Amino acid sequence: MKKKFAFLITIPVFAALLSINACKSKELILPAKQYAVEDFFKNPEKSSYQLSPDGRYYAYLAPYMRRMNIFVQEIGSDSFVQLTQDTIRDISGYFWANDNRILYLKDSGGDENFKLFGVNIDGSNPGGLTDFDKVRTSVIDPLPEIEDYIIIEMNKRNPQVFDPYRLNINTGELTMLAENPGNIQSWITDHDGKLRLAVAIVDGVNASVLFRETEKDPFKTVLTTSFKETMSPHFFTFDNQNIYASSNLGRDKAAIVEFDPREGKEIRVLYENPDYDVDGLYYSRVKKILTTARFTSWKRERHFFDKDLEKTFTRLKNELGDLSFEISSRNKAEDLLIIRSYSDKSLGAYYLYDTKTQAISKIVDVSPWLDENEMASQLPVQYTSRDGLTINGYLTLPKGYTMENAKNLPVVVNPHGGPWARDEWGYNPEVQFLANRGFAVFQMNFRGSTGYGRSFWEASFKQWGRAMQDDITDGVNWLIEKGIADKSKIAIYGASYGGYATLAGVTLTPDMYAAAVDYVGVSNLFTFMNTIPPYWATYLEMLYEMVGNPSTDSLMMREASPVFHVDKIKTPLFVAQGANDPRVNINESNQMVEALKNRGVEVEYMVKDNEGHGFYNEENRYDFYHAMEKFLAEHLLSTDKKDL
């Protein structure tokens, strides 16, 4: 994103356009201050704060040569130590291994083969701990009570499966704890760091929970369910006997339960919500009690088990006002907390909170160059699909507009990726950028979106390009019927599955959209299935049931693959792709672009050779969003310019 593209409509003209719309609704609507693309998509000033176990320091990520690197600062001091100097790729994530050493993960060019590195907080003893080619590392247990070791998993022995290892964080010495027989998807330790629980895929479509009393014992299967059912272990009870889990066994919405691994059954329900899955559970290591459960309605919400923590949140709310916030880090004693605030209009700030004195002090604003008074509100909305499902979503209107006065606006429809994920309320730089340019932005949690229960999720099976796409189309028609959208100025933009939905939108409903932006999207369900990462192989039978089987569902999959229907495309298309994408192979974009060019249709195509599933390097983000801005202005706003 090094090159700048001039926006086709200047700020004075854009203000005039808003005034024209305002006159129609008998109100004067003043435009927001127009920020530069870079203001929305540049790296934060400082982020990802984490307290050291002893509470003396915090570490954070900050830009160095346009890449996010790790810094350490003693609390109360203005001086800091820069621990990493990576100029090629952002640090993907980090954590305190003990008071003296930090571990971090990074990949190469977006290939998602994350390697683990370590460095002492004075900068000494740096080095790679799992520096193996084409191997992906993730952390199972940081072992906070054991200073020199952590437990990780890697697909070093076999690219398709992950084995657990105990790792010496100073020397890099590895000890394999178990050999994955080929079907285990996750490993879980007890509170003493002993590997005692695993979740496996059986026959490609069933899930089993495996348990052992000690690390000397063999794993035994204690429960097997269809993959459509959820029994997702969170962690052991504090006596290391039972399991806390999210479960929808015998119910539509997942609840927090206590599960007996010896009997293979639920003992009791600790918390459930009648409308939403409860998918998060948190605890105090010091008190050895559960603290909160989390679910998401239109916002993230909590159920408190710990009344003391509930009082703490009440005090924080009184101090911080209407901002949403969460605990992002705490020291080992749990008497110092780092609080992260956020809203739909702001990346928020970090605060240090002392639970003993109840003193709260701001550490830093994440993006102080943005004035949230100039940002737009993300409003929750609902509509009904053609077959009677309630679809929840969000509508972000340009500053000054409300649901009452928003009429005939240009709209960007933005379906989420996953697809088995969901949009949530909160700050989204893409949404705010588009709203700042005068577009309404429409996000919808179409069927299959998570958090709304099992039946809503299952309603998406084998519905790519069918009912899932209908949910998007029904939402667009709802906006048109409400008078909010100018039906001649609607664009669709999405990434990953959202990119697929974009391509499906311009092939299945070719007259609906005036412009389309496909970002790392699937175009051909057959080739997509053939190019998944090797460690997804055990999920292939599930994907056949959820998306389609190339052998038995070939006609359906062909109908749902946009690449076979390029003859229907009338909409100007912009495609962006990372060359190293391990999830959506670059061939998905290549074949779509080639098919259009073979028909003599021009398509704008951006490929970044040093990116994967999405653009993470700052300059690449700039390139992409500058190009998107130019593209959308040309195809959605240029007719207004002619009218003037």
Q: Which of 342, 366, 390 is the last residue in one of the domains?
A: 366
Q: Could you give the CA distance from residue 134 to residue 140 in angstroms, rounded to a whole number?
A: 19
Q: Which of these, 211, 286, 272, 218, lies nearest to 243 by C-alpha position? A: 211
Same domain membership, residue 442 and residue 384: yes
Per-residue pLDDT reduced to its tens digit, 57-97: 999 999 999 999 999 999 999 999 999 999 999 999 999 99
Per-residue pLDDT reduced to its tens digit, 217-229: 999 999 999 999 9
Whether residue 6 has pLDDT greater than 90:
no
Same domain membership, residue 483 and residue 586: yes
Same domain membership, residue 400 and residue 467: yes
Per-residue pLDDT reduced to its tens digit, 409-460: 999 999 999 999 999 999 999 999 999 999 999 999 999 999 999 999 999 9
For residue 546, being part of any structural domain is answered with no
Same domain membership, residue 356 and residue 479: no
Same domain membership, residue 375 and residue 339: no
Per-residue pLDDT reduced to its tens digit, 454-479: 999 999 999 999 999 999 999 999 99
Identify the sign of the CA torsion 633, 638, 639, 644.
positive
pLDDT of residue 600: 85
Per-residue pLDDT reduced to its tens digit, 233-288: 999 999 999 999 999 999 999 999 999 999 999 999 999 999 999 999 999 999 99
| Mean pLDDT for the chain overall | 92
Same domain membership, residue 351 and residue 380: no
Whether residue 641 has pLDDT greater than 70:
no
Q: Could you give the CA distance from residue 582 to residue 535 in angstroms, rounded to a whole number?
A: 11
Helical ranges in 239-327 per DSSP H:
307-320
606, two tokens:
């951006």
Same domain membership, residue 380 and residue 362: no
CATH number of 505's domain: 3.40.50.1820
Whether residue 27 has pLDDT greater than 80:
no
Lowest mean pLDDT among 9-13, 33-37, 88-92, 241-245: 9-13
Same domain membership, residue 597 and residue 487: yes
When pLDDT is cut at 50, 70 and 90, the band that residue 21 belongs to is: very low
Strand intervals (E) in 161-264: 163-168, 174-176, 184-189, 195-202, 206-211, 220-226, 231-236, 243-247, 255-260
Same domain membership, residue 422 and residue 478: yes
Domain range holding 328? Answer: 314-366
Whether residue 195 has pLDDT greater than 50:
yes
For residue 630, being part of any structural domain is answered with yes
Contacts of 153-159 spanning 24+ positions with Cβ under 8 A: 153/187, 154/130, 155/534, 155/535, 156/130, 156/132, 158/182, 159/134, 159/534, 159/535
pLDDT of residue 22: 34
Same domain membership, residue 631 and residue 597: yes
Same domain membership, residue 493 and residue 629: yes
What positions carry a catalytic annotation? 496, 581, 613
Whether residue 17 has pLDDT greater than 50:
no
Whether residue 20 has pLDDT greater than 60:
no
For 426, phi then psi, to 5°, come to 155, 175
pLDDT of residue 28: 59
For residue 537, being part of any structural domain is answered with no
For residue 576, being part of any structural domain is answered with yes
pLDDT of residue 532: 87
Q: Could you give the CA distance from residue 109 to residue 352 in angstroms, rounded to a whole number?
A: 35
Per the structure, how many domains does the chain have?
A: 2
For residue 332, being part of any structural domain is answered with yes
Contacts of 332-339 spanning 24+ positions with Cβ under 8 A: 332/53, 332/54, 332/55, 332/144, 332/285, 332/286, 333/55, 333/286, 334/284, 334/285, 334/286, 334/287, 335/55, 336/51, 336/55, 337/51, 338/49, 338/50, 338/51, 338/58, 338/363
For residue 426, being part of any structural domain is answered with yes
For residue 413, being part of any structural domain is answered with yes
Per-residue pLDDT reduced to its tens digit, 584-599: 999 999 999 999 999 8
Q: Which of 366, 393, 428 is the last residue in one of the domains?
A: 366
For residue 117, being part of any structural domain is answered with no
Same domain membership, residue 472 and residue 346: no
When pLDDT is averaged across residues 323-335 and rounded to a whole number, the result is 95
Run of H or E residues at 629:
helix 618-632
Q: Which of these, 397, 363, 355, lies nearest to 32 by C-alpha position? A: 397
485 contacts 408 by C-beta, under 8 angstroms: yes
Other beta carbons within 10 Å of 250: 8
When pLDDT is averaged across residues 144-151 and rounded to a whole number, the result is 94
